[in-house]
Amino acid sequence: MYSFLHKALMLTIKVEEIFSIHGSILLVFYTPGKCWQFRVISRNGEVFGEEKVYYTSLAAQNAGRSWLGMPGI
């Protein structure tokens, strides 16, 4: 059941952008239920982020860049 549900959920996520910043990965993505979000993947593979909703990919990207100490675009 988990595998089926996991695959179904994965199909609803649209990855917009992936950046490498200071050895971490910034992932900006869209989900129908939560609009635009970001996650930061550390060098150790830890995933960080908030369940905050952003209404544009640029807003999510700027929030992620801010987490990493980088200026927004």
Please indicate, yes or no, whether the overall pTM of this predicted structure exceeds 0.75. Answer: yes
Q: Are 39 and 68 in contact (CB under 8 A)?
A: no
pLDDT per residue as tens digits for the range 28-47: 999 988 899 999 999 999 99
Paired residues of 17 in beta bridges = 28
For the chain, give the DSSP string: -HHHHHHHHHTT-EEEEEEEETTEEEEEEEETTTEEEEEEE-TTS-EE-----BSSHHHHHHHHHHHTT----
How much is the mean pLDDT over the chain? 85
66 has a pLDDT exceeding 70: yes
Q: Are 58 and 38 in contact (CB under 8 A)?
A: no
